[in-house]
Amino acid sequence: MASGTPTAPAGPAAPALPAVDNSRYGIDNEPGDSAYDSEVASYTTSLATNITDYKIENGRRYHAYKEGSRSPSTSIAKDLANSNGLGYPYPNDEKENDRLDIVHKMTTVMLHDRLHLSPIAKDPQRILDLGTGTGIWAMDMGDKYPNAEILGNDLSPIQPRWVPPNVRFEVDDVEADWTYTKPFDFIHCRYMSNAISDWPRLGKQCFDHTKAGGYTELIDFDLDWTSPDGSIDNRPIQKLNRDFLDGSLAVGKDPSPGPKLEQYMKAAGFEDVYAEKFIVPVGTWPADKHLKEVGAWNYLQVMEGIEGFLYRLFTNKLGYSSSEVELMCVKIRADMKDPKMHAMMFVHVAYGKKPEEKSAPED
């Protein structure tokens, strides 16, 4: 016999355990390997179909996952009264994806080529991007912080397959209960106007899942258009803006959460909250060179997105016909091309730090 650790003598056989009554737990006891594989395939196919069975309305494509879903903190009665299943109002097709990438460019220019304002650690380990859209911010962050794990989530799987190795995406609803087991060094949430039913709850979930000493940053619009000289007054674009804002509020979504972001951050428990308001012109009318560039990108994204902003909300909820929306878009484009119109909106940025954990007092 080969040398080595001697084999222990066999002891008495362990008594057989009684069969577990799986019926108590609702467990299917019977399927064999092939049947189980088939069943799993059936469920995953059904889930994939649910995610990608996109809705086509007025020639535009809309997301399918949890289409018309409600916030868990919102009563069914209130949800039916307010949104009646409208769901996320903007498309998820290629035209909209191009617009989202233009908005990313506009924002980085607005922030002077920065991806965030939060003073996060130089070597963050976990970063979460809520409502990641095309994933362009998450991918840029993956390049900037190669040692960080970057996770982006969205209602639609529209992100590219080829991404930095430290970046991954998942389909999820940020208004559902979050199930992450490890906190994040940095949580980023950008441009969720008209998407969130319960902003205070979103702020609380961000706080709960931010690492002690880590940061959350919110960026969003105030879509109440204005002008420094009254040049949008009594124009078709002003009426459209009023109808858009009123209609969005009527279905239970805030089109202008930007001014409230600081309040949400403080209410959630963040400390050292910082807020900044940015002018975002529509067009190249400002004399300031930086604002002129921001305005050029904003003009482009608005022109690209007019139909997507309007069709679902205006035809499904505000009683407009498709032809009326089409005519409205023609008038808006005419206003947009008028150099005498000096329109602008605002973008608000707020970030805060989750308090450091207090060490236990020594005995």
Burial of 92 (0-12, 13-18, 19+ CB in 10 A): buried
What whole-number distance in Å separates Cα of residue 82 and Cα of residue 213?
38
**51-60: long-range contacts (C-beta < 8 A, 24 or more apart)?**
51/156, 51/157, 51/171, 52/157, 54/92, 57/311, 57/312, 57/315, 57/316, 58/307, 58/311, 58/312, 58/315, 58/322, 58/325, 60/91, 60/93, 60/95, 60/96, 60/307, 60/308, 60/311, 60/312
Q: Quick one: average pLDDT of 257-268?
A: 98
Residues 286/118, Cβ–Cβ less than 8 Å: no
Instruction: Confirm if 183 and 214 have CB atoms less than 8 A apart.
Output: yes
Q: Which two tokens stand for residue 143?
A: 């390049």
Looking at domain 66-353, its CATH architecture is 3-Layer(aba) Sandwich (3.40)
Q: What is the DSSP letter of 24?
A: G
pLDDT digits (tens, 9 = 90+) for 209-244: 999 999 999 999 999 999 999 999 999 999 999 999
Q: What's the pLDDT tens digit per position in 75-103?
A: 322 333 344 456 778 888 899 999 999 99
Integer Rg of the chain from CA: 25
281-302 pLDDT, tens per residue? 999 999 999 999 999 999 999 9
Closest CA to 186 of 238, 120, 247: 120
Instruction: Please tell me the predicted confidence (pLDDT) of residue 317.
Output: 86
- Confidence at residue 62, expressed as pLDDT on a 0 to 100 scale: 82
Closest CA to 178 of 158, 203, 148, 149: 203
Between residues 347 and 56, the one the model is more confident about: 347
Burial of 82 (0-12, 13-18, 19+ CB in 10 A): middle
Predicted TM-score (pTM) of this structure:
0.81
Cβ neighbours around 248 below 10 Å, total: 22
